Structure 1
Amino acid sequence: MSGAEEPVLFHTTGRAAHITLNRPRALNALTHTMVRRIDEALTAWEADPAVETVVITGAGERGLCAGGDIRAIHDDARDGDGCASRAFWRDEYRLNARIARYPKPYLAVMDGIVMGGGVGVSAHGSVRVVTERSRVAMPETGIGFVPDVGGTHLLARAPGELGTHLALTGAQAGAADALLCKLADHYVPSASLRPLLDSLAELPVTEALAGVVRTPPPGVLEDQRDWIDTCYAAGTVEEIVHRLLAHGDPAAKDAAETLLTRSPTALKVTLAALRRARELGLLERVLDQEYRVSCAALGTPDLVEGIRAQVVDKDRRPRWSPKTLAEVTDADVERFFTPLGASELGLCAACGDPADPHR
Structure 2
Amino acid sequence: MKTKPGARNLITDVAGLRVGNAGDMRLRSGVTVLVADAPFTAGVHVMGGAPGTRETDLLAADRVIEQVDALVLSGGSAFGLDAASGVADGLRAAGRGFAVGDVRVPIVPGAILFDLLNGGDKDWVENPYNGLGRAALAAAAEDFGIGTEGAGTGAGTANLKGGLGSASVVLPSGVTVGALVAVNALGSATVGSGPEFWAAPFEMGDEYGGRGVARDYPDPMLAPTKLAQHGNTTIGIVATDARLTQAQCTRLATAAHDGFARALMPSHTLMDGDLVFAAATGARPAPDLADQVLLGHAAACVMARAIARAVHAATPLAGDLLPCWQARFGAADS
Higher relative contact order (CA 8 A, sep 6+): 2
TM-score (norm 2): 0.25
Task: From the two aligned structures, give the one with the greater strand fraction.
Answer: 2
Give TM-score, length-normalised by structure 1: 0.24
Q: Which has the higher helix share?
A: 1
Structure number with bigger Rg: 1
